[in-house]
Structure 1
Amino acid sequence: MSRASSVLRDVSVSAVVAGFLSALINFAGPFLIVLEATRAAGLNEAQTASWVWAVSIGNGVCSIALSLFTRIPVIVAWSTPGAALLIASLGGFSFAEAVGAFLVASVAAAVVGYTGWFGWILARVPGPVLQALLAGILLPFVVTAAGAFTSAPLIAGSIVVAFFLGKRFFDRYAVLAGLVAGIAVTWATGSFREVAPSLELGGPVFTMPAFTPAALVSIALPLFIVTMASQNAPGLALLHSQGYEPNDRLVVGAISTVSAVLAPFGCHGINLGAITAAIALGPESHPDRAKRYIAGLSGGLTYLLVGSFGGVLVAGFQAIPTETVSVLAAVALLGSALTALEGAMGGDARTGIAALTTLAVTMSGVVFFGVGAAFWGLVAGSAVYLLLAPRRPRTRTGESGKENAVIT
């Protein structure tokens, strides 16, 4: 059977919807931070459109290529923490200097990825800690969505009712039912926001990179750290937590290479997705883990479509109310959150305490040195796990009285 026919055989509505939702949530929410970063850089309309084109095309190409090659649902996203960092750090630098910093940060990430250092460290993190990290990332989105019942009860209620009726009668299409109900009620109540397309249909605009020590220290270094620690680390951890064994060298290295190639066109950084990836990785995407890679293809195609049509489709996504997006994300993440909680608390007392520490720190939202809570939750949980490791008792053997370790 050819690869094409094999892919067509694996296509399912649930996986296609999961991939589409992963992209929709990115454009309806975190994308606003990217637009704010372009304003902080003082870009004109053409340069802004090029930035949108670069991150969207990069996400799409990497998601499709890596999902097809690895048969793993690889969801690529722009670096939202990186964009937030740029809002504060771009002042005083020319766009050419910023592009040079983007390029250096992506090349550094590619080197770390291809050498395998990143994956080697992550592979030594206990499984329950990884599951707790996933739970800590997802639960706040599930919990805070309840606030939508106050501001938009009809929209929130329709999504939740349709989703759970779907779970009862047609499980694989429950998320699709919630999506259809949510969009229909949003339209019926006139709740779509008026957002005029702010970007022209434009292609890439090349900017020659400029390299200055100040920009490398102020932009490239923190951007590299934040992208690797707050995005790629949780992204790889999520893949492992769902039972996948990704080739970290290939995945991180390839994504970072594409990011470097697109840097002169405005791409500040693309990386493995975390929150949005969980939608494609979970059971709501497909009961069969081996067929969830279709969600990666669907998400990638959505990114390519938006990248090709620029601000017209971006404005369409941004017209969707926050309540609709947040509740859709919550119901789509329920299955992944449940699986993560079960995995986090399924070990012994030692791993349980380490997992609970990871969960607490990750959910706290704490930020140190510009690095988000997901990374610090991973560090804290791993540290507790190592601290509680049982000591190896020693016993005296032989006439010399030398101590030999006894491993129990």
Structure 2
Amino acid sequence: MRLPFHFAHVSAGFIAVLVGYTSSAAIIFQAAAAVGASPAEMNSWMWALGLGMGATCIGFSLRYRQPILTAWSTPGAALLVTALAGMSMSQAIGVFLFSSGLILLCGVTGWFDRIMQLVPASLAAAMLGGVLLTFGLDLFASAQTQPWLVGVMLITYLALRRRLPRYVIPLSLLAGLAVAAGLDLLQFEQFSWQLAWPVLMTPSFSLASLIGIGIPLFVVTMASQNVPGIAVLRAHGYQVKASPLISWTGITGILLAPFGGFAFNLAAISAAVCMGKEVDTDPAQRYKAAVWAGVFYLLLGLFGATVVGLFAALPTELVMAIAGLALLGTIGNSLSVALSQESERDAALLTFMITASGVALFGIGSAFWGLVVGGIVHGLNVRRSAQR
């Protein structure tokens, strides 16, 4: 009997979650600590975030049959680390509810869809390439500290990527785990399984916190997370209306904010892991990887108390290497699409370079500014062509 999914779907979903958690889980704990969260409340935050991301990943992907991943707002969490200092937990929950309400309003009005329709495919691909470039570079940077680990993973990838393209990433991961075990780099001494339980936290509202923190959290989440998230889908040829997705992430945030779910949005980097040819040669089947990512999100939410111990057990170089290998094909495809049209090449190149630079202005990440500058240049070029 043929299974409705492949091992490549499972591994891609796992790697997507691995990338998402290892890159920013520590920031979530710092944000919770900023408002004096107890261990039970911290666990509740991870429970709410895992549950929300898992439910939306599975729901979106099955509904639209496209690899749609959600994530917590990493730049939003970074904002909260400093912005929430000195505030009470109840005020923080009020901020989360307010920001999620604005996200819901943004989705319901439909203006986000109208803006994204104006973004050319070349700029979306250039932005994606710029976002992912760091992960490709980190693959080789990690070889400085663990050359044997990264070398074996890279050799495995190069040797099998054409013979077994569907299984090359999981096999590279297994090779890395074997080397890590041989070098005694796996640290599971502090690891233990513990269920997380939700803790209901009552909100309180103050005009100062809503304006000073709630609005920036909304802007950062929309500009630095949802814009790239939709662009990633467009760059891979997946067309879906953004408004329903944005609306449901807002609803999810409203429902789970009282338990610590501070912000939910569309994923970009981790989503790209589930969209490459290595996942499935048939683009219509890649949504199954996103469904598996949702399953892993749910499991990590239920066992939120063990998340830090689980990811701390893996060497950083292994995580960096497998993320880079999983995204190599996507980076190459993005650059190919971005630079394919000579008339759009300069705008796409600027988008790519600004995004890859990591520059952040007014608390908004480089992906947004890359699209803004690239969009302006593209518009000027179109206008000049029309005047000739």
TM-score range, shorter chain: over 0.9
Secondary structure at 2:323 match in 1: helix
Q: Distance in 2 between matches of 1:81 and 1:62?
A: 20
Aligned residue number for residue 219 of structure 1: 213
Of 9-18 and 267-276, more deviation after overlay is shown by: 9-18
> Quick check: 1:207–1:264 contact (8 Å CA) kept in 2?
yes
Q: Distance in 2 between matches of 1:312 and 1:380?
A: 42
The question of 1:361 aligning with 2:376 is answered: no
1:382 is aligned, of 359, 375, 378, to 375
> Quick check: 1:27–1:318 contact (8 Å CA) kept in 2?
no
Q: Which has the larger radius of gyration?
A: 1
Q: Distance in 2 between matches of 1:331 and 1:10?
A: 25
Q: How many residues matched?
A: 388
Secondary structure at 1:285 match in 2: coil
Equivalent position amino acid for 2:118 in 1 = R
Aligned residue number for residue 297 of structure 2: 303
The question of 1:280 aligning with 2:274 is answered: yes
Equivalent position amino acid for 1:312 in 2 = T
> Quick check: 1:280–1:295 contact (8 Å CA) kept in 2?
yes
1:311 offset after TM fit, Å?
2.1
Q: Distance in 1 between matches of 2:184 and 2:59?
A: 39
1:37 is aligned, of 23, 31, 41, to 31
> Quick check: 1:306–1:314 contact (8 Å CA) kept in 2?
no
Aligned residue number for residue 228 of structure 2: 234
- Counterparts of 1:7-406 in structure 2, within 5 Å, are 10-193=4-187, 196=190, 201-349=195-343, 351-391=344-384
Of 103-112 and 140-149, more deviation after overlay is shown by: 140-149
1:387 offset after TM fit, Å?
1.7
> Quick check: 1:206–1:264 contact (8 Å CA) kept in 2?
yes
1:348 offset after TM fit, Å?
2.3
Q: Distance in 2 between matches of 1:314 and 1:146?
A: 25
1:195 offset after TM fit, Å?
6.7
Secondary structure at 2:36 match in 1: coil
TM-score (norm 1): 0.92
1:66 offset after TM fit, Å?
0.7
1:312 offset after TM fit, Å?
2.4
Deviation string 1:288-338 (CA, Å, 9 cap, x unpaired) is 110000011110000111111222244112211110000100000011111
Secondary structure at 2:200 match in 1: coil
> Quick check: 1:45–1:199 contact (8 Å CA) kept in 2?
no
Q: Distance in 2 between matches of 1:287 and 1:114?
A: 35
Q: Distance in 2 between matches of 1:13 and 1:119?
A: 34
Q: Distance in 2 between matches of 1:295 and 1:175?
A: 13
TM-score (norm 2): 0.96
Of 130-139 and 381-390, more deviation after overlay is shown by: 381-390
Of 61-70 and 162-171, more deviation after overlay is shown by: 162-171
Q: Distance in 2 between matches of 1:371 and 1:197?
A: 36
1:105 offset after TM fit, Å?
0.3
Q: Distance in 2 between matches of 1:195 and 1:230?
A: 37
> Quick check: 1:234–1:375 contact (8 Å CA) kept in 2?
yes
Q: Distance in 2 between matches of 1:309 and 1:392?
A: 57
Q: Distance in 1 between matches of 2:363 and 2:282?
A: 38
Equivalent position amino acid for 2:84 in 1 = L
> Quick check: 2:54–2:295 contact (8 Å CA) kept in 1?
yes
> Quick check: 2:150–2:318 contact (8 Å CA) kept in 1?
yes
> Quick check: 1:233–1:375 contact (8 Å CA) kept in 2?
yes
Deviation string 1:334-362 (CA, Å, 9 cap, x unpaired) is 1111110000000123x100000100100
Equivalent position amino acid for 1:52 in 2 = M
Secondary structure at 1:389 match in 2: helix
Equivalent position amino acid for 1:390 in 2 = R
> Quick check: 2:35–2:86 contact (8 Å CA) kept in 1?
no
